[in-house]
Each structure stands twice: as structure tokens, then as C-alpha cells.
Structure 1
């Protein structure tokens, strides 16, 4: 095989290894972030009706507005609801500014996921064209794509159980360059709707599913590599 072809093949394997777990994680994140039933169930568990002073119908309406905003289907978060018997604007200026940052983070992450799909498609075409044994190369890439993320997800799940608030704070300090995320649970509706308990539950679900699916993919790839049903080099 020519040197340049070998280089392209190596890069293709690397792209598959890197972007496969990222796409999986973003897809699971998207499922829970935009799942209205999940939000409503956590509102019941966390007694959000009492903490916000809002009825469930208003909570559902406001949540849908939030989700549409994060999907870039809404230009702003201007919305009114009955809060403790008074019709008023739900979100204050600080909450709206923070959600601008959150929205941009989501849009960048999902744009990167789209790029990941494209790069994986290109990588698969390159592997099939250049490899002497494309299936083995693909299975190896899938196997390797699970190892580091599996370890990372497992460690993260353990750390979240030990001190979620500490690592939740680190996350915000890494991804946000301001302190707008520090909201007052006594006054601001956004943090009353999604308190720390909400983030503990959604993070645990996301990384548990990620860990489980990665285990299945890695186990399936390993089984195929060991089966002898694919051509050897």
C-alpha cells in the first residue's frame, strides 16, 4: 500500500474512533434535553410546582418554550405565566442571559455532531476503498472507540455519586466565562424548575445509557474480531 494511502487509512480509523462515541453521547443528550415527559416527571419528583408557585400546565408551556429556544426555533425567552397567583414574566434578565450561553453551547455541540456524521461517512468510504480488510478495520475502530469513553463515563458516574455539586461547578467553570449560571433558588424561576436534583438525574441517565451502549458496541466488535468470520490481514 502506498504511504499516502496508509496515512489516509489511519486518519479514517482515527475519525471513526473519535467521533462515534461523541455522536452517541450527543444523541443521548438530545433525547433527554428535549423530552417533555422527562421534565414533567422530574417536576413531580422535585415538587417544582410548590417551589416555583406555578401550575403544571404553565410549567409544561414554559418548558416547551425553553426547549424550542435551545433548538433555535424561538428568538427569545419572553413568556408570562401565573406565579403564586400573579401573572408575570417568568424569567429575569440574568436567566435570559445565561440561556443565551447555554443555547450557543448546544448549537455548537450539535453542529459538531453533524460534522461528525459527515466525517464518519467519509472515513467509512475511505476504509472500504483502501483497506485490505475493511470490516476488521471498522470493528477495531469501534472497539477502540469504546475503551477510553467507557473508562471516562465510569469514572464520571462514580465522581457524580461522591460529590455531584463539585464536578457540576467545574463543568460550568470550564464551559462558561461568566457567573450567570449562579442563580438564586429563592428568587429565580429557572433554577427552581431545574434544581440540582434535576441535573443529578439527567446526568446519571445520560452517562448510564452511554456506558451501556458503548459496552454493547465494544463487546459486539470484540466478538466479531474473535469469531474468525472476517478476513484476516
Structure 2
């Protein structure tokens, strides 16, 4: 165990960051207040054709569907003739079913990464070399930092390209290709909506690497001080 403490530390750091990023995604997917605020900012009633009074209901339905609280993705409004009219086409609901499956996968990855990171961390703290483990955490942070920095540079240079590439990989059936002229879903969630959510998510995600860096350096410092004591 002591021999591999540094490698285990690097793996643990990567797993902790994966846990935190997936947790942030899950939290944002269920945050109705945030979603409504960003919709009103990026997709106001004058561009969507949806009355402002309907936004809270449609957001509650959306977040509830993504997190599994609501079984069906559909919202009805009362038209000028007093009839209930559905807001979304079947293919829009089908795309949101794909999104919910992705959120479900995100939840599974979060649990697996969190449990694995906790087990590795506990094992080394109990039986491994703590200083080497802490140095491994710093190595893992550098690895993940490089990967995330590359994604950040891509996003800053061409967010649309990153967005399209992700959707092609995640939704190969093409269900994400919607028409703003006919489809309310894309009018409610234009590209700017995802850019703003991405920025908020990135800011929240920074908490874990900062915490890991501080904890690892504190661990190295304490271990050295303990070794220097007579």
C-alpha cells in the first residue's frame, strides 16, 4: 500500500473531481430558481411566445422530469379558445428523455466516483504513506487541470463547436436538432442559456480542486513537521 500511495493519491484526486463535477451538474439540473432566472434572461416571453406567468410551471416540470420527480415531459397552456394545448412536440419530449438518461448516468458516475474516492482515501490514510498520497493528489490535480484547461480553451475559442461536438456524441440520434421557428424547447434554451449555466457550473466546480490542493499541501506540511520532531 505504501509503495503505491502516490499513484493512489493521483487516482483519488481525479475521482474526487469527477464526483464533484457530476454533483454540480446534477444540482444545476434540479435548480428551478436558477433555470427560471436564466430562461427569463436568455429567453424572455417576447422571444418564446410563452407568457411570463407560465415560466415557473414549465421550469418546475422540466427540473422535475430531469431529476425523476415527474414521469412525463409535457406542459399545457390554455389557448385563446379556452382549450388546453400541449407546448412540446413528441420529438422534443423524446430529446428530453435522452437528456434525462444522461442525467441518470451522471448520477451513477457521481456515486461510483464518490465511493471509490472515499475508499481509496480512507485506505491510504489508515495504512499508506500519507505524504506520498498527498503528493499524488497534487499530481492528479495537475492531470485533471490540464484536461479541463484544454476544454476551457476550446470553449472560449469556439463554444458553439464544443456544444455541437458534445451533442453529436451524447445524442447520436440527432434529436437535439430543433427548429426555433416551430419548437418551444430550443426557444426556451438557446445557446446563451447553456453558456451562462456552463459559467456558473465551472465556478462551482472550482471548489473541489481548491479544497484538495489546500488539504494535500497541509498534509505534506504536517507530515514533514512530525518527522522533524525529535
TM-score norm. by structure 2 comes to 0.85
2:65 corresponds to which of 58, 65, 69 = 69
In structure 2, the residue matched to 1:37 is 33
Shift in alpha-carbon separation, 1:124–1:162, aligned structure 2, 3 A: closer
Partner SS for 2:177: coil
Q: What is the CA distance between 1:171 and its match in structure 2?
A: 0.5
The aligned residue for residue 195 of structure 1 is 190
SS at match of 1:199: helix
Structure 1 residue 189 displacement after superposition: 1.0
Taking the TM superposition and a 5 Å limit, the aligned residue runs for 1:143-222 are: 143-211=138-206, 213-222=208-217
CA contact (8 A) 2:8 2:136 kept: no
The answer to whether the 8 A contact 2:24-2:205 is kept is: yes
Structure 1 equivalent of residue 88 of structure 2: 91
Q: 1:230 to 1:20 in 2, by over 3 A?
A: farther
What is the root-mean-square deviation in Å for CA atoms of aligned residues? 2.6
Number of aligned positions between the proteins: 226
Listed as ranges, the gaps of 5+ residues in structure 1 are none
How many angstroms apart in 2 are the aligned matches of 1:98 and 1:144?
A: 39
Comparing both chains, which one has the higher relative contact order based on Cα–Cα distances under 8 Å and sequence gaps of 6 or more? 2
Which of 114, 118, 122 is equivalent to 1:117? Answer: 114
For the residues of structure 1 that align with 2:210 and 2:147, how far apart are their CA atoms? 13
Unaligned runs of 5+ in 2: none
Q: Give how far 1:195 is off.
A: 0.5
8 Å Cα contact 2:29-2:67 kept in structure 1: no
- 1:17–1:145 Cα contact (<8 Å) kept: yes
Distance 2:107 2:201 in 1: 16
Cα distance change of structure 1 residues 224 and 126 upon mapping to structure 2, 3 Å threshold: closer
TM-score relative to the length of structure 1: 0.84
CA drift of 1:207 comes to 2.1
Greater shift, 198-207 or 10-19, is seen at 10-19
TM-superposed deviation, 1:203: 1.2
Match of 1:225 in 2: 220
> 1:110 and 1:231 mapped to 2: Cα distance?
42
The DSSP-based 3-state class of the residue aligned with 2:85 is strand
For residues 15-40 of structure 1, the C-alpha deviation after alignment (integer angstroms, 9 at most, x for no partner) is 41321110111122223222222122
Give me the whole-angstrom Cα distance separating, in 2, the residues matched to 1:212 and 1:125.
21
> Matched residues in 1 for 2:80 and 2:166: separation?
33
Runs of 4+ deviating beyond 6 Å:
83-86
Cα 1:137–1:49 shift into 2, 3 Å = farther
